[in-house]
Amino acid sequence: MYRLFAKILAGLIATVVLAVGALALVVSYNAACEPPPPAADGASSFTAVMQRCYGDADIITVETVAKPELAESDVLVRVHAASVNPLDKHFLHGTPYLLRLVNGLNAPQSPRMGADFAGVVEAVGSGVTRFEPGDAVFGVANGAFAEYVVRSETGGMALKPANLSFEQAAALPVAAITALQALRDKAQVQPGQHVLINGASGGVGSYAVQLAKAMGATVTAVCSGRNAELVRALGADRVIDYTQQNYTEGDTRYHAIIDMVGNHAISDILGVTEPDGVLVLVGSMKIDPWWGPLARPLHAVVRSPFVSQRLESLLAMTTAEDLRALARYADAGQLTPVIDQRFTLAEVPEAIRYLERGRTRGKVVVSVVP
């Protein structure tokens, strides 16, 4: 009886291993790029950046496509500027592979690229009441690397801050909302608390420094020495050059640590976090091809019951309400985007390559309307 049970168990294990292996082969396979359809002609067409397969920046194309028909609640926006996020390179490569379960197994379901945009409303559906033609707006939409995007009026879009250019406004949505939700919702920062931002000169980090100051915190920024003056200008009270000093070996204790880099063990970071403090995990330098940014948060979940500090991970969600909150910070002069480099639509491959080098100061912007 025992031998029979052992054989059945071994058979089940072998079946699971074979199934997982087969799934791995299927999910990690990159289909060949499909040729684009014939270009759309006439006044109803526009230019858009596309990826018709998974791969590196060489597979990106710029195509002429037809303007979509507007549904009752849709808003058509003439894009003036867009910005590049790490999310764009993940969609380009199709990694982590779990992403493909929702984005398309061997090729993307939607070939359009880009998320952050800012522009002017050109037309609205018959049922739209929140926006009208001529409104300057910013937000997140599928296919932002293009001359036009379509967004539902109830989706992630808001009126552009009056004191920001279109390029600056396009640099806000994904990165600034990530910083806002990390500080406000996860860390629950209060005036007078000491907050450390690891990765303070990057896209999310440059916003986190400013927002933490706006919330009344004392801010320590961790970055390279070449970016020290930048983060001081953003409001950091203290700057640590990570090439010269390991912040986890210091004597200072922090109520909240917002980690965009993941270059230190969680146990080491908790060593400089107040016993009742919080560590918010936003990003990581090392991305597992399967689990991607989920690997480190899963580690935190396992460790959480055994420590006094709160361990929080963040999957930011773009909402119109939070976009309006960012606009209020910008209008009050408390939030100014840092733009590192500007590229054109035709240069989107170069923009993504530049981002992948991992040394950006603030945001990389795509200028659509000069």
Q: What is the mean pLDDT of each run of 10 residues along the chain (370 residues)?
A: 50 47 59 81 86 95 93 98 94 86 87 97 97 98 97 96 97 98 98 98 97 98 97 98 96 97 94 97 70 70 88 92 98 97 97 92 95
Is 279 in the same domain as 362?
no
Which range marks the domain in which residue 102 is found? Answer: 45-172+337-367
Q: Are residues 54 and 131 in the same domain?
A: yes
Q: Note the pLDDT of residue 31.
A: 84
**CATH at 61:** 3.90.180.10
Q: Give me the pLDDT at residue 291, please.
A: 61
Query: 7 lies in a domain?
Result: no
Query: Residue 250: what pLDDT?
Result: 94
Residue 358's pLDDT is: 84
- Residue 312 has φ and ψ, to the nearest 5°, of -125, 140
* Residue 113 and residue 239 in one domain: no
Q: Report the alpha-carbon distance of residue 335 to residue 329 in Å, rounded.
A: 6
Indicate the number of domains in the chain: 2
For residues 307 and 183, membership in a common domain is answered with yes
Looking at the structure, do residues 63 and 86 belong to the same domain, yes or no? yes
Helix, strand, coil shares of the chain, percent, nearest 5, are 35, 25, 40
pLDDT value of position 268? 96
Residues 93 and 182 in one domain: no
Distance, in Å, from the CA atom of 274 to the CA atom of 251, rounded to the nearest integer, reads 11
CATH number at residue 283: 3.40.50.720
Spell out the residues 6+ positions from residue 246 whose beta carbon is closer than 8 angstroms to its own.
264
Task: Give a yes or no: residue 343 inside a domain.
Answer: yes
> Both 277 and 182 in a single domain?
yes
Give CA–CA dist 162/142, Å, rounded: 24
**193 and 141 part of one domain:** no
Please give the pLDDT value at position 47: 96
Do 290 and 220 sit in the same domain of this protein? yes
- The answer to whether residues 228 and 244 touch, using CB atoms and an 8 Å cutoff, is no
In a domain, 39, yes or no: no
Q: Are residues 181 and 168 in the same domain?
A: no
What's the pLDDT score for residue 192?
A: 98
